[in-house]
DNA sequence: TACTTTTGATAGTCAAAGATGGTCAGAACA
DNA sequence: TGTTCTGACCATCTTTGACTATCAAAAGTA
């Protein structure tokens, strides 16, 4: 298993066990525990604990410094609203779109299958036509908004419908 | 026996033995095992493990990366083959796509909701970016193929997935 | 005391190296 | 003559290390 995955899991497990929406950790301690460079911890945070993933982080340097990881909890439908009104905007990368679809499923706003279906529509392979990447990002945003609007209209998907 | 055939057989045997609809493998390990160029593995995947053959593949690059091969259930595989080969082609108009989605729902292949979702992704409003209509028809076809492949992979619609 | 400097303990950034897999043109083969 | 196979080059993800920034407490100073 990848180191990054192990660290990610460790942190999430820690949050689960403490049943707290936030935890504090010492970067150097973590690095020592996993026998890796301290900056590895930053890498994990910046690739797996972003706002798109549903987390925000804070930190304090200097003596007694630490990193705080906070899980954002949104009520049913709020996340969807946030995506449509703020997050997606008029362009979005494939990677971000994938993360957001995954997050929607995790939150139960859509089923895992619907998430896969949505992502398969906007994945790079689907958009493999000769147009600038910039346009693809715009297309993706439009499609995603359109699909999410449909989801919002027709209820939280996944069901038999 | 041709190398490609040997690799194909090896992979299929591996899936049989594990009795799993999906397996993961390392491209470089495989290449080493068969003493061939790593790209040979891609060749085998792209000629023998396509959706038309009843398989889909995913992969992840970078450290700890791997290739995942997923077998689509037989029933779905045949249904899919029909759709991909007979109905969609490499370009499709918005109207034809809409009708297709509707028929799929009628036949119970996908839920009404899924049909709406799929159509909202490929509707003209979603593709409202400045590119030739011809490209849009190709895009639509790609997206539809991709979404149907995903549906097939996860079983015939409706369920919770 | 009150203010400044120093020091040690943290964390952040960024670029380079390492580890995978992907693509494509052309050679080799059957 | 189409299929198979290879190799050079590319893209992506992970890991590390050198250098930088910040902070709190201790030490120095007027």
Asked if A146's CB is within 8 angstroms of B120's CB, the reply is yes
Say if CB B3 and CB B36 are below 8 A apart.
yes
Q: What is the pLDDT of residue A158?
A: 53
Q: What is the pLDDT of residues B27-63, one digit of tens each?
A: 999 999 999 999 999 999 999 999 989 999 999 999 9
Q: Is the pLDDT of residue B87 over 90?
A: no
Q: How far apart are the C-alpha atoms of A128 and B84, rounded to whole Å?
A: 17
Q: How far is A126 from chain B (nearest CA, A)?
A: 5
> From the CB of residue A35, how many other CB atoms can be counted at a distance below 10 Å?
8
**What pLDDT shows up at residue B52?**
87
What was the pLDDT predicted at B154? 82
How confident is the model over A71-91, as pLDDT tens digits? Answer: 999 988 899 999 999 999 999
Q: CB contact, 8 Å: B90 with chain A?
A: no
% of chain B surpassing 70 pLDDT: 96
Q: Whole-angstrom Cα distance, residue A59 to residue B46?
A: 47
User: With bands split at pLDDT 50, 70 and 90, how would you rate the model's confidence at B153?
Assistant: confident
pLDDT value for A160: 45
- Sign of the CA dihedral B135, B138, B142, B143? positive
Using pLDDT thresholds of 50, 70 and 90, give the confidence band for residue A32. Answer: very high
B127–A139 C-beta distance less than 8 A: yes
pLDDT value at position B160? 42
Residue B159: pLDDT over 70? no
CA distance, residue B65 to nearest chain A CA (Å)? 9
Mean pLDDT of chain B: 91
> Quick check: A113 and B146 CB within 8 A?
no
Do residue B116 and residue A2 have CB atoms under 8 angstroms apart? no
Which domains are seen in chain A, by residue range? 3-71 (3.30.56.130), 78-154 (1.10.1200)
Residue B66 near chain A (CB below 8 Å)? no
Do B117 and A116 lie within an 8 Å CB cutoff?
A: no
Residue B143 contacts A where some CB pair is shorter than 8 Å = yes
Contact B136, B39 (CB under 8 A): no
Using a CB-CB distance cutoff of 8 angstroms, which residues of chain A are in contact with residue B94? none
Residue A124 has pLDDT above 80, yes or no: yes
Using the C1' atom of nucleotide D24, identify the protein residue whose alpha carbon is closest.
Answer: A63
Place A161 in a pLDDT band, splitting at 50, 70 and 90.
very low
pLDDT of residue A156: 62
pLDDT tens readout for residues A87-117: 999 999 999 999 999 999 999 999 999 999 9
CA distance B127 to chain A (A): 6
The pLDDT of B20-25, averaged and rounded, is 95
- Average pLDDT over every residue of A125-151: 95
A36 touches strand D (CB under 7 A): yes
Protein B37 CA to nucleic acid D5 C1', in Å? Answer: 8
Is residue A15 within 8 angstroms of chain B, CB to CB?
Answer: no
Please say whether the beta carbons of A49 and A30 come within 8 A: no
pLDDT band at A143 (very low <50, low <70, confident <90, very high): very high
**Residue range B79-98: average pLDDT?**
85
**Residue B27 neighbours by CB under 8 Å, 6+ apart:** B38, B41, B42, B59, B66, B67
Angle of helix B38-48 versus helix B3-18 axis, rounded to 10? 70
């Amino acid at each position: 298993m990848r180191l990054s995955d192990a660290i990610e899991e460790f942190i999430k497990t820690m949050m689960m066990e403490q049943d707290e929406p936030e935890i504090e950790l010492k970067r150097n301690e973590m690095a020592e525990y996993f026998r890796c460079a301290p900056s590895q911890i930053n890498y994990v945070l910046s690739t797996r604990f972003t706002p798109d993933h549903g987390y925000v982080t804070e930190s304090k340097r200097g003596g007694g410094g630490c990193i705080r990881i906070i899980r954002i909890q949104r009520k049913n439908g709020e996340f969807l609203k946030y995506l449509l009104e703020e997050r997606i905007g008029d362009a979005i990368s494939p990677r971000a779109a994938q993360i957001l679809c995954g997050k929607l499923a995790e939150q139960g706003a859509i089923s895992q299958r619907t998430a896969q279906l949505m992502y398969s529509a906007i994945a790079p392979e689907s958009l493999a036509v000769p147009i600038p990447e910039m346009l693809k990002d715009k297309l993706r945003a439009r499609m995603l908004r359109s699909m999410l609007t449909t989801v919002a209209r027709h209820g939280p998907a996944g069901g038999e419908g």
